[in-house]
Amino acid sequence: MTRNRAPPRCPSQKNEPERETSVTYDSEKYQSFPCEYCDLVCKTRKGRKQHVRSEHPVLSSDSDEEDLSKTTIYRHSKLTGENVNEDGVPLPLGSAPQSVDANKNAWHPFTNRLEFDFAHYHYVELETSAAKINTALDHWRAATIVALGSDVDERNSAPWSTAEDLYAMIDSIQTGGAPFKTVYLRYNGPKPPINPPAWMTATYELCLRDARLVLEQQLQNPEFKSQFETTPYRQFNSAGDRVYSNLMSGDWVWREADTIAADPATHGSMLVPVVSGLDKTTVSVATGHQEYHPFYLSAGNLTNMARRSHGNGVVPVAFLPIPKVSKRQKKRKEFKTFARQLYHICIQLIFEPLRSGMTTPEIMRCPDGHLRRSIFSIGPVIADYPEQVWLAGVVQGWCPKDFAHPDNLDDPTATRRTHEKTDFLLESYDRAKTWASFGVRDDVVPFTHSFPRADIHELLTPDLLHQVIKGTFKDHLVSWVNDYIYATHPSNKALEIVQDIDRRRLSHRILAFVGFQMVVILLNGPGMIPKP
């Protein structure tokens, strides 16, 4: 039999070093195409190529890594991220990672693998009915009695009494150990004695996960072993210029480490800056234009490459409630105040599990398997401008980071906003003055106000997608083109041109859909055309 060479390498992997192999086989004959980067075996060459591209991509780094030998890195001298044991005692350099508890049942909530395989086989693979599962359990009980004798208690001869017991155990499985839970909130301010607005009596649901468990699960993922940093650092190239790449190489995280290190009890710990992001969105497909307000978290120790390329690099931790009211009620001052306060209370509840770990280090396992004393800090908050206005508690049109006037946002003399300055203004001036002269609202306290070392005005970070890409290349560009058309043509002609552009845009969308239909017909025949 003629043996072929090992399966060809995907073009995207051409820069990877060649791997030696001692076994070759005819992939075409056996319809077996093994992946060269993991243990997966695909049925077709095309399937293997798609798997390699999606699971083993070659990504470029944001940092200047073309000549790492000529860069100099200075690491923080106090928050060093040293390895410790389960009691927090530092380990000698070069110590092996602390082993995971060997007594932990890997099949929990099942007692052993046999129970797991039974449940998986009937519930997942065969999708067996409840009646047939009950019959299978009767056979299990009978086999146990035959094997062990009639003295066996029939009630304990099978792991479940009925299929319903099996379903209950399956429902108790919590993926990742950080399930969503619901917190109910209501308005508790003064109400009209007769017919209060519906939003004053409604119950609002905040769906959230334990932020600490989410970060713990993220940090102990071994897939991030080579893509995380334990210490703030400063990197310089051969010319002496500063190199900024990941969050841990920035100025803010270095200053944060200096502030934390003022407490000697934190020396040797690992700073975990918690990056968050949120953006209200509308899902129109099959939801009736339902609005959602997701909130995301990510450990700032992960590199940009890990956060960009890995599905677990940024994870949803909560969905904020969105009060639904009429346009008339939405303009009422009482509702505006309530909506903003509800917004900040919800975000405060999300970060609440991290509060104790912001002053006292807590032991966490890292991707390399080592345990480290970790201390949390609320890190950059990524949001577009409308979201930043709500987060900072400022008046619409004002800068959420400094006191620059809306008519002069580039004012070089404008000073940065802080919680202390805002408190001073609210204590010294009336509401009208703080609103008109400083862009400060007096009806909401930002969620960061009560957390150690956190100041929302410093932490706000632009949302590049909405503020730069979409804002510049879509919203502004469309506005500029329309303004140019109306400025260079008579009104009737300008309107005709704009309508023609809209028609062309619609026709392109129709052609794109028709093209999709033709692909479906060619691949599957005319019977597979989706029905409207």
pLDDT in tens, 177-224: 788 899 999 999 999 989 999 999 999 999 999 999 999 999 998 889
Q: Which range of residues forms the domain containing residue 508?
A: 489-528
Does any domain span residue 423?
A: no
> Is the residue at 24 inside a domain?
yes
Hey, what are 102's tokens? 């060997």
CA distance 275 to 259: 18
Contact 147, 139 (CB under 8 A): no
Token readout for 149 is 């004798």
Q: Residue 103 has which token pair?
A: 């007594």
H/E stretch holding 115 reads helix 113-120
Question: What distance in Å separates the CA atoms of residue 38 and residue 398, rounded to the nearest whole number?
Answer: 52
Largest CA-CA distance found in the chain, in angstroms, rounded: 99
For the chain, 532 residues long, give each residue's pLDDT as a single digit of tens.
333 333 333 333 444 444 333 444 455 555 678 887 776 778 788 888 888 877 766 655 444 444 555 789 999 999 999 999 999 999 998 888 877 665 577 788 888 999 999 999 999 998 999 999 999 999 998 888 888 776 767 667 788 989 999 999 998 886 667 888 999 999 999 999 899 999 999 999 999 999 999 999 999 988 898 899 999 999 999 888 999 989 999 999 999 999 999 999 999 999 999 999 998 876 555 455 567 889 999 999 999 888 877 668 899 999 999 988 888 888 899 999 999 999 999 999 999 999 999 999 999 999 999 999 999 999 999 998 899 999 999 999 999 999 999 999 999 999 999 999 999 999 999 999 999 999 999 999 999 999 999 999 999 998 776 666 666 666 677 788 888 888 999 988 888 888 887 766 655 554 454 444 444 444 444 444 444 4
Give CA–CA dist 422/416, Å, rounded: 11
Residue 508's pLDDT is: 54
- Write the secondary structure of 446-486 as one string of H (helix), E (strand) and C (coil): CHHHHCCCCCHHHHEEECHHHHHHHHHHHHHHHHHHHHHHH
Whether residue 494 lies inside any domain: the answer is yes
pLDDT digit string (tens) for 367-376? 999 999 999 9
Strands annotated E in 237-333: 242-243, 270-278, 281-283, 290-292, 294-299, 315-319
Residue that terminates a domain, selected from 155, 172, 189 = 172
pTM, rounded to two decimals = 0.70
Residues 441/336, Cβ–Cβ less than 8 Å? no
Type and span of the H or E element at 128: none
- Nearest residue to 9 via CA among 49, 56, 55: 49
Last residue of one domain, picked from the residues 172, 189, 204: 172
In a domain, 140, yes or no: yes
- Per-residue DSSP letter, 529: P
Q: Indicate the pairing of strand 270-278 with strand 371-383.
A: parallel
Note whether residue 26 is domain-resident: yes
Q: How many domains does the chain have?
A: 3
Residue 16 lies in a domain: yes
Residue 232, C-beta contacts closer than 8 angstroms, at least 6 positions apart: 75, 76, 79, 248, 249, 253, 254, 256, 257, 271
Task: Tell me how many degrees the CA angle 451-409-401 measures, rounded to the nearest 5.
Answer: 5
In this structure, what are the phi and psi dihedrals at residue 41, rounded to the nearest 5 degrees?
-120, 120
> What's the rounded Cα separation, in Å, for the pair 67 and 458?
33
Write the CB contacts of 247 (distance below 8 Å, at least 6 apart in sequence). Answer: 253, 273, 275, 300, 301, 304, 379, 380
Integer-rounded Cα radius of gyration of the chain: 30
Q: Residue 204: inside a domain, yes or no? A: no
Cis peptide preceding 196, ω within 30 of 0: no
Single out the residue in 122, 157, 172 at which a domain terminates. 172
Q: Closest Cα to residue 12, out of 66, 48, 64? A: 48
Which residues partner with 271 through β-bridges? 375
Q: How deeply is 304 buried, as exposed, middle or buried, from its count of CB atoms within 10 A (0-12, 13-18, 19+)? A: middle
Q: How far is CA 430 from CA 202, 435, 437, 442, 446, in A?
A: 32, 9, 11, 9, 19
> Is 35 contained in some domain?
yes
Burial status of residue 206 (CB atoms within 10 A of its CB: 0-12, 13-18, 19 or more)? buried
Residue 33: beta bridge partners? 42
CA end-to-end distance (rounded Å), the chain:
53
